[in-house]
A = this chain, B = another copy of it.
Amino acid sequence: MIVLFTDFGVRDPYVGQVKARLAEHAPAQQVVDLLHEVPDFNPHAGAHLLAAFASSFPLGSVFLAVVDPGVGTPRDAVVMLADGRWFVGPDNGLLSIVGARHADTRRWRITWQPERMSATFHGRDLFALIAADIARGEFPTDKLSPIDALNVEFDAGDLPRVIYIDHFGNAWTGVRGVQPGARVSAAGQLFKHSESFGFVGKGEGFWFVNSVGLLELAVNRGSAATTFGLKVGDPVQVQRLN
């Protein structure tokens, strides 16, 4: 399974071009669009999201992960194997957190270049081809060089900030493993805990641990983003139980 995780946007003609390449080079592989709206130009938020999602995908999945504001400049391109799953993308921190959270992670720099490579769309011209190789089970040793560490490594701990806002207006944070008794506040508001939406009143705010294990702020049948003015990057305060 090839899993796409990008900021290419769902409405734009970028994802389709990548999929056409995958269809040519790995026609028998399932391709799943996980997320194409990683906050623009924000590999840091993307790295926390990617780390949260990865473990729920099958072993052997190949993540094509591209949030790449530095495309065309001399940043490296990398392949990573972490916890039994593959990751292909730019060396700008995007892959670093999922890598750092597992002990047996292996990393390679992509040394190969295709004959024709645009300056602005390595997702299509480079990363898709490498991901296709790996998904087909033909690990491209000749296109890679093992490395000990990525050039850009983000802190692998939790990120107490909003990292994604969905179309309902729910605000995801980069904080894991919060227990119900914790004290959670953001935007100057203290949030109560609820297991799910329907247990609080209509229009009421609450926090919960979402379906990938992250602390999320929400409003029942409403938008937490609009109600509390939350946006990506805003801090959240979490005081755990002792």
Residues in A lying within 8 Å of B, measured CB to CB: 1, 3-4, 9-17, 19-20, 23-24, 27, 30, 32-37, 40-41, 49, 53, 56-58, 69-73, 75, 118-121, 124-125, 164, 166-168, 195-199, 208, 210-211, 220-221
Contacts and interface: CB of A to CB of B under 8 A. Distances in A.
A57 B23 CA distance: 11
B35 A13 contact: yes
A199 B70 CA distance: 8
B23 A30 contact: yes
Contact of A56 (B1, B17, B40, B166): B17
A119 to B, nearest CB: 4
A11 B33 CA distance: 10
Nearest to A9: B167
Q: Of A125, A168, A199, which is in contact with the most chain B CB atoms at under 10 Å from its CB?
A: A168
A208 B120 contact: yes
A185 to B, nearest CB: 21
A163 to B, nearest CB: 12
19 contacts: A1-B23, A9-B166, A9-B168, A11-B166, A12-B37, A13-B49, A13-B53, A19-B33, A20-B32, A20-B34, A27-B30, A40-B221, A69-B220, A72-B197, A72-B199, A118-B210, A119-B195, A120-B197, A124-B211
A183 to B, nearest CB: 20
A167 B7 CA distance: 9
Contacts of A17: 34, 53, 56, 211
A201 B122 CA distance: 21
A124 B34 CA distance: 13
A10 B11 contact: yes
Nearest to A123: B211
Given A9-B168, A23-B1, A210-B120, A221 B34 contact: no
A20 B37 contact: no
Contact of A198 (B12, B40, B70): B70
B24 A58 contact: yes
A3 B27 contact: no
